[in-house]
Amino acid sequence: MKEAVFQQAAMLHVFHLNVGRQLNLDVSYSAQPVDRLQEEVERRTNIPKSDQILLISGGIVLSPGKCLSSYTSAGSESNPIFLVSRLKASEHREKHQKCEEEFQPMTQ
């Protein structure tokens, strides 16, 4: 009996820290400039490029004009790209207020 061989397509892993979800993109983005990756992230998440911060291990911020492959193993399963979306001031106030409502001070 022959064993079935499953070939998994190579993926580029982007972890969205704000929501705790991972995007799996085609590995071909590795050979393209970071801003092309940002366009695809915007298409999939509705986060404008201007509100995206893309980081890799060590806190290195990815530069939009630089080729993604110039960052060592960026986007691999063991070293995903981290996506943080900037909050607008109004969103920050709203989230802070909601957090205060959820975490009431303890009374003795």
**d(C-alpha 52, C-alpha 13), whole Å:** 16
Please, what's the largest Cα pairwise distance for the chain? Answer: 69
Q: What is the mean pLDDT of the chain?
A: 81
| pLDDT beyond 50 at 7 | no
Give the pLDDT score at 49: 94
Classify 11-102 by CATH class: alpha beta
pTM: 0.72
Find tokens 């022959």 and name the residue. Answer: 2
Q: Where are the domains of the chain?
A: 11-102
Tell which wins on pLDDT, 99 or 20. 20
- How many Å apart are CA 62 and CA 74, to the nearest integer? 10
The distance from CA 46 to its chain's CA centroid, rounded to whole angstroms, is 12
Query: Quick one: tokens of 76?
Result: 């691999």
